[in-house]
Amino acid sequence: MPENIEKFLNRVAEAAERSMTLSKPVQKHDELRNIYVKPVLIKEKRLFAFTYHYERRDEVKNYDAAQMLDVLKEMLPCRFLNAVLFTVDEDVTLLVSSKGKATLQTKKVQECREQNLEHDKQKARLINPANPWWYQLGLTTREGKITADMQHKFKQIYKYAEIVESLVKPMKFEGMVHIADMGAGKGYLTFALHELLTQRLNLDVDIKGVEIRPDLVLKINEIIKADNLKGLEFVESSIEAYHPEQLDVLIALHACNTATDDAIASGIKAGAELIVCAPCCHKQIRQEMERSGRFDAITRYGIFLERQAVMITDTIRALILEYFGYKTQVMEFIEMEHTPKNVLLVGRKTSKNAKDPKVLQQIAELKQQYGIERHYLETALGLNC
């Protein structure tokens, strides 16, 4: 082992109070991206909590002082090339080059640092995994710890809550906020929405989770009743058949193919102030493009045809929302690495004059360019572009 790595490990062993980070994986594609180490006090015993930050999940393991040093010896420099030790009065940085040369740097710190040995310190979270419904929905243990196989799912839910908060916070609602979550499925995002709006934003809500599968509706309503959640209910219905009388916010995440259009049409007809969709399965426009036989240098390749169909489908949806007086925005929803479909289409109702014929002209030109006869959303809204 290089001398400076031994010196670093000795400094770790000698430090009375310390925390650490390990970074810069040897293998660029290593799923384990970094490790954060902090001292904790568990049942009056001093341990070291290692938080392993993977690409899609976090894992925490606790070690005593001897075990901590053993783990560090395994990780440096075989797995990580950089490490920083944070003590009360200095930072000690270990840098290992790709050729194995180890450099040690020490820097005195000016600020007064205090060690916090509290284990699992509670943070102000948008979504609290300790709430009982997350256990009943299968995402956490009874103690409120997110299960290993649900770490990535909970990150998705949390990201969704962050986006929704940014969209809802600036809006001015009067009285009860009527919300429909179309195609609510297992209820993860619907419960996150209810928790965010009631516990974080203190809104009076009436949220309907619209789901066609009766077994899911029954199960979710039992959880709602058991937890006494006011303003939340699941209803058994298809998206196409659900027509709310009052609607302020329309949510439709991953509603397949034209079900997204049925949801958007429902929101427009009800005059919803906010429409949020994560479209999925853009089959209708692709089939129209294939039938027309009007291929160009891009769309003659199947994979590019699919991506083009996705963009055209959602572009026309955004334009139709604009035609009906909505300011539209398209943003990334979750990770884009596995699918081109995880985008969020957002429409905010404005006071400006709607039904600009120039918007219909843009839609008509797009359709003509790609041999599209009709977009399903046109039919759902009785448009003739």
88, two tokens: 């009360």
Q: Are 102 and 137 contained in the same domain?
A: no
Give the single-character DSSP code of 112. P
With 80 as the cut, is the pLDDT of residue 271 above it? yes
Q: What is the CATH number of the domain that holds 219?
A: 3.40.50.150
pTM: 0.66
**What average pLDDT score do residues 145-154 get?**
89
Amino acid at 236: E
pLDDT in tens, 13-71: 988 667 899 999 999 888 899 999 988 888 778 899 999 998 777 888 999 999 999 99
First-to-last alpha carbon distance for the chain, in angstroms, is 72
Q: Is residue 126 part of a domain?
A: no
Three-state secondary structure call for residue 153: helix
Among the three residues 57, 74, 108, which one is the final residue of a domain in this structure? 108
**What average pLDDT score do residues 138-156 get?**
89
Q: Are 97 and 140 contained in the same domain?
A: no
Q: Say what percent of the chain tops pLDDT 90.
A: 56
pLDDT of the residue at 297: 75
Query: What's the chain's average pLDDT?
Result: 87
181, two tokens: 């979550």
**What average pLDDT score do residues 131-143 get?**
92
Those residues with Cβ within 8 angstroms of residue 286's Cβ, 6 or more apart along the chain or in another chain: 305, 306, 309
CA triple 359-365-367, angle to 5 deg? 105
Q: Is residue 114 part of a domain?
A: no
Q: Are 51 and 137 contained in the same domain?
A: no
132, two tokens: 């009982």
Give the number of other Cβ atoms within 10 Å of residue 181's Cβ: 26
Q: Are 90 and 143 contained in the same domain?
A: no
The residue segments making up the domain with residue 376 are: 132-381
* Number of domains composing the chain: 2
pLDDT of the residue at 95: 94
Q: Is residue 357 part of a domain?
A: yes
Please give the torsion angle defined by the CA atoms of residues 332, 335, 338 and 340, in that order, rounded to the nearest 10 degrees.
0
Q: Are 96 and 175 contained in the same domain?
A: no
pLDDT in tens, 292-301: 887 777 778 8
Q: What's the Rg (C-alpha) of the chain?
A: 26
